[in-house]
Amino acid sequence: MKQVKFLHTADLHLDSPMVGLRHLPKAIFHRLQESTFKALKNITDAAIKHEVDFVVIAGDLYDGEDRSIRAQAVLRNEMKRLAEKGIKVFAIHGNHDHLGGNSIQFDFPENVYFFKDQLEIAAYRKNDGTLVHLYGFSYPKRHVTERWIEKYERRDGADFHIGLLHGHFEGASDHGKYAPFRLSELLDKGYHYWALGHIHKRILLSQEPHVVYPGNPQGRNRKEQGDKGAYIVSLTEAGSEITFFETADVIWEDMIIDGKNASSFNEVYESCLAAIDEKRRKGKGLLLSIRIDQLNSSLTEVKEKIDNGELLELLQDGEKEEESFVWVHRLAYTENISFDRASLIKQSDFYEELFNTIETYDDLNAALSQLYQHSQARRHLGELAENEKEQLVRDAENVLFQLLLKN
């Protein structure tokens, strides 16, 4: 039976500047700065360990169009490691590292094939004669809004057909709508696998055939949370199998602690310590955001220690020297404000109208528009998930009723 094994990754964003994170301790910030390179090394290690036939990189190898010399040098060195094992690499450039940038260009070893700015078909042939056609293109400029998917056609004669596309799955998100496509358009091409890039979350769009966003291999901010990695893909005449593996050196996570039953500062502190111990991973760094939910509003001293940063400093103590650090970079709380809706409605028509307004409120985007339109703020903000939007409304409701009932 003919078969081929390869590694699929995308969105390396090598040498990402980690904007807005210089407030972190020097050692942790340096670790984060190096994390994209460490993730690349982990990818190379996995390709060699699993003895893949080739590697596909679906765009945004570098973080910027004027790619740094160091980023190119590190990538070239890792490609040489693959060359020594006879592993080929097929790569496309995306919107971040498009071909229109101005930078010194390094020469890469012969095992690496970069697709040009027109749709191309690259061929890979195994020693046993198995032939693979790979289809793809590199972005000629940053803003590619045309439907490039319409240019993809299958050329018969190969045993397997793999599409590489750095683009926007229509309906998935508002993340840079470049080279848009619909799932039906991909499936109609008759390829055995679609290696996608551009979305920084793992998304499996189809299983037959596999259509996959691997996500980026290293999270660079709190919007890029959780396990990050790439896929080992096996194609046979019977179908395909994919296996995810982790590559990130530093992980971002959010955690919610139930503070409803806490009755003292010590109990809150111990709950936070337990959360930190639960999240610690051997050999990896973790940047953790903690929210204590439903904290009793009468715990004035506890709220004060959170508001003035003392509890946060206590939780951070000693972590910057740890290899497997858990650095709490954000600590917040919501209050357990007791109010009976039915009783308040009976008191006044005002409360009934207020509750109805809250329940039907759907204009959060307009409320946040000034923030997102601000040139400096926009650089540090990502798209809010639906659960984050819901939490913002709940938090606003709590603040509102805290002020109303206090008066």
- Across residues 282-295, what is the average pLDDT? 95
Q: Which residues of 167-204 are buried (b: 16+ CB within 10 A; e: fewer)?
A: bbbeeebeebebbbbeeeebeeeebbbbbbbbbbbbee
Cα-Cα-Cα-Cα torsion 185, 188, 190, 191, nearest 10 degrees, comes to 10
Instruction: Give the mean pLDDT of 82-101.
Output: 95
- Going by pLDDT thresholds of 50, 70 and 90, the confidence category of residue 377 is low
Q: What is the 8-class DSSP label of residue 14?
A: B
C-alpha span between 165 and 143 (Å, rounded): 15
Asked if the model's pLDDT at residue 178 lies above 60, the reply is yes
pLDDT, position 67? 87
CB 43 within 8 A of CB 10: no
Please check whether residue 61 is in contact with residue 91, taking contact to mean a CB–CB distance below 8 angstroms: yes
Burial of 80 (0-12, 13-18, 19+ CB in 10 A): middle
- ∠ CA 136-139-142, nearest 5°, is 155
Please report which confidence band the pLDDT of residue 242 belongs to, taking 50, 70 and 90 as the band edges. Answer: very high
**How confident is the model over 379-402, as pLDDT tens digits?**
556 667 666 777 777 777 777 776
Helix (H) or strand (E) holding 393: helix 386-406
The helix (run of H) or strand (run of E) holding residue 238 is none
- Strand ordering across the sheet containing 54-58: 112-114, 88-92, 54-58, 3-9, 229-236, 239-246
**Per-residue pLDDT reduced to its tens digit, 301-310:** 999 999 999 9
Would you say the C-alpha torsion 184, 188, 190, 194 has a positive or negative sign? negative
DSSP codes of every residue in 117-165: SS-EEEEEE-TT--EEEEEE---SSS---S-GGGG----TT-SEEEEEE
Indicate whether 56 pLDDT > 90. Answer: yes
pLDDT at res. 174: 55
Tokens read off for 249: 């050196």
Q: Is the pLDDT of residue 74 over 90?
A: yes
Q: How confident is the model at residue 374 (pLDDT cuts 50, 70, 90)?
A: low
Per 3-state DSSP, the chain is made up of helix, strand and coil in percentages (nearest 5) of: 35, 25, 40
The closest alpha carbon to 252, from 282, 211, 231, 223, belongs to: 223
Mean pLDDT of the chain: 91
Nearest to 135 by CA among 160, 112, 110: 160
Identify the pLDDT of residue 381.
60
CATH for 3-246 is: 3.60.21.10
pLDDT of residue 338: 62
The pLDDT confidence band at residue 113, using thresholds 50, 70 and 90, is very high
Residue 55 above 70 pLDDT? yes
Quick one: pLDDT band at residue 364, thresholds 50, 70, 90? confident
Spell out the domain ranges in the chain: 3-246, 254-406
Q: What's residue 346's pLDDT?
A: 77
What local confidence, expressed as pLDDT, does residue 31 receive? 97
